[in-house]
A = this chain, B = another copy of it.
Amino acid sequence: MFLIGGSADNGIGEKVARALDAKFAKAETKTFPDGELLARANCGAEGDDIVIVQSTYAPQDTHLMELFLLASAAAKQNPRSITAVVPYLAYLRQDKAFSPGEAVSAEVILDLMHSSGVTNLVVAQPHKIETLNKFKGKSIPVLPSRSLMDYVSKELESPYILAPDKGSFPFAKDAAAQLDCGCTFIDKERSIATGEVSIKNAPAERFDGKQVVILDDMISTGGTTAQAAKFAYSRGASEVVAAAVHLLMSDNAAEKLRDAGVLRIYGTNSMPSKNTSQIDISLELASAVRSIL
């Protein structure tokens, strides 16, 4: 097995290679002065299994393009298989046409990955697990939320899980079962006119004396999490922390969360993120590679 770490592997490539006892090389990449990428992955892995680790956080399109280029370079070396391990795969939230004529970006990305030579796909915490079924090769989701909650639970004495919207409630229920604690969700609605999101049905619970964990698959601009944190304090929470597999932290998310009283942010190393506690998901990704091959 030969493993290639892309420029956005956030150090995971080498760790996965070690866990799998695979040869490892960092891809050689450069950006020309005009902005074009050059990518090189010289594995000499004829007949072997090639694994490419590349996360696709911002700039998403450039990190995706690097993945396409590396996969196609790998494909020319006649490998037995090409497995892309993507700690964070961008565009998965765009999983349907929300209005006529809209590109279903998640499908496009999965198709382009397959076209560029990827035969197997491992993705950590896809926004919806079933979206991966659109990939034309084999795919496996890795769900590091369990390890994440293990880690979070060690730091909290009286946790209570709050899903910031209905979509993340199943996720919260699993975590609550794992931690043997309560959980609820905030039911919201998005105004079609303004795009503003407001609370529709607030849960009845009070959180007095509880350490509330706002749990989601990702924190992007932090708006949703901040809103939930304020709600939790308004219902008596003694502390509020946030946990998510993917800490995108775009815009001024960190500031927003701090202002909302979020004391700590827990996540994974699916992408680099400052001032957060991140668990390493390399071993879980390595297991998935083992089972997909």
Measuring CB to CB, which residues of chain A are less than 8 angstroms from any residue of chain B? 32-44, 58-62, 64-65, 68-70, 72-73, 76-77, 90-91, 93-94, 97, 99-105, 107-108, 111-112, 115-116, 220-221, 248, 250-251
Contact = CB atoms under 8 A, between A and B. Distances in A.
A103 B72 contact: yes
Copies of the polypeptide in the assembly: 2
B34 A58 contact: yes
B40 A103 contact: yes
Contacts of A35: 58-60, 250
Contacts of A108: 68-69, 72, 116
Given A42-B102, A69-B108, A72-B104, 13 more contacts: A34-B58, A34-B248, A36-B93, A37-B105, A38-B94, A38-B102, A39-B103, A40-B102, A41-B101, A59-B59, A61-B65, A68-B112, A70-B103
Given A61-B61, A77-B101, A102-B38, A33 B68 contact: no
Given A68-B112, A116-B112, A102 B60 contact: no
A279 to B, nearest CB: 22
